[in-house]
Amino acid sequence: MIGDQLRRHPTLGGALDRSKALRFSFDGQRYSGFQGDTLASALLANGVTLLGRSFKYHRPRGVMSIGSEESNALAELRTGARREPNTRMTQIELFQGLEAQSQNRWPSLNLDLLSINGLVAPFLAAGFYYKTFMRPRGFWEKYEYFIRRAAGLGRASGEADPDRYERIHRHCDILVTGAGAAGLAAAKSAMQAGARVAILDEREAPGGWLRFDRNLIEGAPATVWLDETVAALRAADNVTFLTRTTAFGYYDHNLITAVERVQDHRAVPDPHKPRQRIWTFRAKQVILATGAVEQPLAFADNDRPGVMLAGALRGYLNAYGVMAGHKAVIFSNNDHAYRTALDLIDAGGAIEAVVDVRPSPAGDLVRAVRDRGVRVYTDSIVSHAKGGHALQACDVTPRGGGRPETIECDALGMSGGWNPAVHLHSQTGAKLDWRDDPGCFVPATAKWPCVSVGAANGDFQLADCLANGSEAGAQAAKASMGGTTATAVPGVRAFREERPHPIWEVPLGPDRRGKRFVDFQNDVTVEDVELAHREGFVSVEHLKRYTTMGMATDQGKTSNIAGLAIMARLRDKPIPEVGTTTFRPPFTPVSIGAIAGQERGQHFQPLRRTSMDDWHAENGAVFQNVGLWRRPHYYPHAQEDVDDASRREVTATRGAVGVCDVTTLGKIDVQGPDAAEFLNRIYANGFAKLPVGKARYGLMLREDGMVFDDGVTSRLGETRYLMTTTTGNAGPVMAKLEFYLQTVWPELRVRITSVTEQWAGFSVAGPKAREVLQDVIDIDISDGAFPFMAAAECRFAGAPARLFRISFSGERAYEVNVAADHGAEAWALTVAKAQALGGSVYGLESLGTMRIEKGHVAGTEINGQTTADDLGLGGMLSSKKEFIGKAMTGRPAYLAPDRQKLVGLRPVDGATWIKAGAQLIEDGAAAPPVQMLGHVTAVAFSPELNTPIALALLSGGMARAGAALEAAYPLTGESVRVRVVSPHFLDPEGTRMHG
Amino acid sequence: MFIIKCPYCGERDVTEFSYGGDATRAYPQDPAQATPEDWHAYVYERDNPRGWHVEWWQHSQGCRQWLKLRRNTLTHELGRTALPHEPLSPDDDEGSDA
Amino acid sequence: MAEITQRRSPLGGRAEARDINIPDGGTPGVALQHRTGLCITQAAAYPGCDAALRASLAEIAGSEPDARPNRSVAAPAGRLIWTGPAQYWLVTEDPQNPASDLAEATAETAAITEQGHGRVCLRLSGRDARLVLAKGSTIDFHPSHFAAGDCAQTGLLSVSCLIDCIADEDSAPGVGPVFDLYSARSTAEHFLEWAIEAAAPHGCRILTPGSGIAAP
């Protein structure tokens, strides 16, 4: 066994399992500890007190606290991809083989060359960024490199997180956050009332300060009551008891988020289980029993390793059997810290002095300490802690002034009183009230059904915690489910404690030296707060941002109150008038992995695949994501790039036949006696008289008269229609149709259903399209029987299908819908036939090329700012009926002659590609600003015309036909001379598709 | 993160719903007779109240029903929900379904 | 001319029987099974025709659907599931597709739409099945809130899903609750992978894909 654990008490330490020794390393040095230790307690047991370097000045730091408020003892944990920075050693459970590294030191913790920052400290005072690095201009980037190296925290691993995370939702009647005395009492009475209860605690073992303090409940050690209560709660069917779980966010309608560290205490997590789990609780009633945080005192060099919170000093002793010092001094403004003196003495330690700022303390605990012969310096302060890497002594000075007395010590327990952990309460936007006795903020009225109890509510006596917790649990059960059960409250001796004396900054000693830290993690001192005040940053929000006080990973749990109290003194105002900053989630840092949960990698969002997706993948398709769908972009042969492949696909389609997967188009089944009337109101063009067996192109407007969507709708039966939408608008169109049916025209006898998923779709386009299909379709598709714009239900090789004679490519074309489970086979069969006829499959690139050649509009033209007229579709608007958006189509602005309208463009040189998104201007040589006349919406290379072509929205539209313009793309400095032409590049009469 | 009470499905998380805009405006009863002012009011005029408001929401991941929801834009408190044909106004006194 | 008759589910070959994270001699916390060959017939009544539709469904399916929202019943022909106001699903087994019979019976009262190719169905069962659902949906799956005969449409992680509780701890002691999860075909792979990952910590047995909609 390596390491001696010299500081370990022979018997104390209820958290430890001494039968299980664990090996671990810190900065490469090997040590031993026990099961139940935290990294902090194990290092302290081994006498390691120098644990880190501070953020700005690189001052040596030790552990300050025993909980999640820790601001000094931060470590990088693990190695490789699992390396995790800024973990609080006070919360790291020791495990076999744990490897930890200290942070923010170079080259080593003991010899940190950057501690020279401490010598140039005046230069680094609050606001130094703003003042120092502003000049010379342009030098910031050079400074920044060094600042970022020198200041800061741990390093992220830079590798993908190898572990699993998940989220889980839970409803309950009552959620209790914190399983200390108050929380357990609340959960117990709620459980007994039969409510569905969830209780969380951030530590591995519940109990809170019941485990760190020595108390008697019903005459027995408090741990007896603790163990019984926990066992009863864990055994109850109606209770969810989670440890290692931190409630970190409190949102509207009693939504509480918590992170459970499922496997952080294992060296390597079980790969089938999540490393961490985010819980989202929806509770009818919330009971906040989050306890309180002891506050440090701002005396000179209060950050020396060995100085810690008084409660932490006794907590390490009682729970972990760690005697952090053999000669201790206690510096306090309250009675509670005297418990530390008593516990240390009873464990065989020596208390050199208790220094109390109050003139004549005489509470029960004070008297008990005096009875043990300890010297109590009243009306005094510790004016200076001394030592370098470890505390060696402290100066005690009378408050009224006088000569300091130097007392040798190796531990100093400080206590500035306790401040309720109001963070969750405050996150909801609920206010805080200032309570003069004992001088802390407590929760005011809660925003949602919620109550704070115990220390979280400023009730620090154990008897109050148990009684108020129990009552709160019963009340919450009554409120959430009615009825109530009286719960017995265990008896506890109450100590008479006197009022603490608030002291937010401790005067410097006669030597006038040392730094008085308010925010330890961000190295903010009393002087920084004073500087902020002098420079006018007097509101708490400005103070915070100017000094960075409270902005570190500890969120100011041990600094905010002191900082604003000092500001209140400087402004000569009462503390509540100065106010507090707003607490925001998370209470403690939460890893990104946990927040992402299962939504990572390919599950970041769902991927939609068509029935033919496997075929596409097996046949070398290059995919393109369109919304959530993935669609083939092109199918390259050998070394082809996208342009080569598309040119081949288009040529094959226009020359023979092409097959394209169009499953993603939105498909909406519209049925009912009033279906025709409904469609007629929705579409801008007439649908009332569409015969059975016919398809019609339809244009939908928004209520403001802009084009919303387009598609083909077919009448499959007397009362049955199939509407298609664009891929991107399938969802919005469906929701809009439902809106009109449910809210505007509920009397219409129509029901609509999305059938996008039910049918696989592909188009067969080209002069040989009919040849491909005539053998597999069970109806007559000769031109006479099935002309352009015909539609029918049919069978495709025996499978349920629908056939539409419609064309997006401008060729003779059919669109086939097949019941989706048959889609893959129907597709394969069709492709084989097409290929035998010299045809090809084609992807989105070719689809785009062919629609541009035809001047068909798509999403880049239907962009929410174009009217039907702008797109050359103005003639479709029906004058004979009402339809959505009709009233707006006549607005003067929509009729202005300079509106941007659809045109075609060709490069003047017949060869240069036009850039999509390019701006159209008159004169490429003109100096900006120049008037922008429009922009290029879509570009392609037309194999048939053997030239690049483009569609554009151009001011004045076809009134500029024949004009030469500049298509400028300033981002890359490209510019092309283009000529305005008709957007219908190919076969404008449509003879091909009519066949 | 609201809890919205769907008239059919009961209390569900807001993530199942989608927002549909101001529900205090009604589509003109007789579109052919509506004046340009009527249309202007329906299409463009929107208050941006600080406090209680009535909004359209659709239970899009659930039963697909559109509903009216009374919501306090300041505090995120939610009031009653109603089906489209049921009256609900921002200063509704909550009625029996609160 | 070759006939296409075999249905090909997007989960074909992807949800084959295997054990995930089940220790030797241990029992799985959940079981997953891909339900194949289902016909889903959606019936949506026109305004004022809900009762008439229910009567027609009773004729075709052998039982009347529960008119209450988010309720499902086991009918002789299959399951009748509420999926929206005046709208039901009749889930039956191929090849006895009731759609045309139903369409004939409801010509005046309801719109009939087939959805069986547009959805995949996973059956999730076992003692930890409720926990798995809670990883995807924000609904309260406590047995007191969601028991046999309850159904809900909700989001599971990021896809929409219809969850039909066909048995619970009381009705199927020893089996644990049984849920049929219907989700869109296009996201079926994503959905399956999610379900397996969410189930894995509990020990997951994937059963041989099977047809039929009867309770176990």
pLDDT of residue A152: 60
Longest dimension (CA), chain B: 42
The listed CATH number (3.20.20.80, 2.30.40.10, 3.30.1360.120, 3.40.50.700) that belongs to domain C18-37+117-207: 3.30.1360.120
A471, part of any domain: yes
Which among A917, A909, A931 has a CA at the least distance from the CA of A976?
A: A909
Beta-carbon separation of A196 and C142 below 8 A: yes
Give me the residue from A273, A603, A757 closest to C185, CB to CB.
A757
Structure tokens at A547: 């000094």
Is A618 part of the contact surface with chain B (CB cutoff 8 Å)?
Answer: no
- Secondary element (H or E) of residue A533: helix A526-534
Q: Do B62 and C154 touch (CB under 8 A)?
A: yes
A153 pLDDT exceeds 80? no
CA distances from A771 to A658, A782, A841 (A): 12, 10, 16
Is the Cβ of A168 closer than 8 Å to some Cβ of chain B? no
* Among the listed residues B66, C113, B63, B16, the one whose alpha carbon sits nearest the alpha carbon of residue A745: B66
Same domain? A958 vs A833: no
A461 and A535: one domain? no
Distance, in Å, from the CA atom of A758 to the CA atom of A663, rounded to the nearest integer, reads 10
Helix A540-547 vs helix A560-571: crossing angle, to nearest 10: 120
A133 found inside a domain: yes
* Residue-level pLDDT at A156: 84
Q: What is the mean pLDDT of chain A?
A: 93
**For the ranges A398-402, A735-739, C25-29, the one whose mean pLDDT is highest:** A735-739
Considering the domain architecture, whether residues A300 and A379 belong to the same structural domain is answered as yes
Q: Are residues A226 and A313 in the same domain?
A: no
Report domain extents, chain C.
18-37+117-207, 38-114
- The mean-pLDDT minimum among A147-151, A485-489, A606-610, A736-740 falls in A147-151
pLDDT bin (cut points 50, 70, 90) of residue B97 is very low
A512 falls within a domain: no
Measured between CA atoms, the residue of chain C closest to residue A600 is C194
Q: What phi, psi does A568 have (nearest 5°)? A: -60, -40
Q: What is the span of the domain harbouring residue A962?
A: 895-994
**What is the per-residue pLDDT for B98?**
38
Structure tokens at C81: 């599931």
Chains with 3+ CB–CB pairs under 8 A to A are B, C
Can you give the residue range of the structural domain that contains B50? 3-82
User: How close A620 gets to chain C, by Cα (Å)?
Assistant: 19
According to the model, what pLDDT value does residue A135 have?
59
Tell how far CA A935 is from the center of its chain.
Answer: 37
Give the 3-state secondary structure percentages of chain B, helix then strand then coil, rounded to 5. 10, 35, 55
Task: Indicate the fold that domain C38-114 takes in CATH.
Answer: Alpha-Beta Plaits (3.30.70)
Residue A203's SS3 state is coil
Q: How far is C175 from chain B (nearest CA, A)?
A: 28
- Closest C-alpha to A68, from A713, A558, A685: A558
Residue B17 lies in a domain: yes
Report the percentage of chain A scoring pLDDT > 70. 95
Contact list, B35 vs chain A (CB under 8 Å): none
Q: How many other CB atoms are found less than 10 A from the CB of residue A873?
A: 20
**CB contact at 8 A, A82 and A156:** no
CB contact set of A906 (below 8 Å; sequence gap of 6+): A947, A948, A949, A950, A978, A979, A981
CATH number, domain at B9? 3.30.2270.10
Q: Does C22 touch chain A (CB under 8 A)?
A: no
CA A364 to chain CA centroid, Å, is 49
Model confidence over B39-54: pLDDT tens digits? 999 999 999 999 999 9
Range name among A491-495, A883-887, C8-12 with the lowest pLDDT average: A491-495
Same domain, A446 and A436: yes
Integer Cα distance of C94 and A806 in angstroms: 32
Both tokens assigned to A269 = 């997590």
Residue of C41 and A400 predicted with greater confidence: C41
A780-789 per-position pLDDT tens digit: 999 999 999 9
Mean pLDDT of the A370-383 span? 97
Give the one of A252, A739, A887 whose C-beta lies nearest to B34's C-beta. A887
What's the whole-model pTM score?
0.94
Do both A131 and A170 map to the same domain? Answer: no
Total number of domains in chain B: 1
- Do A379 and A281 lie in one domain? The reply is no
Nearest-angstrom CA–CA distance, A369 and A337: 11
Angle at A153 between CA A151 and CA A157, to 5 degrees: 125
For the cut 70, the answer to whether the pLDDT of residue A896 exceeds it is yes
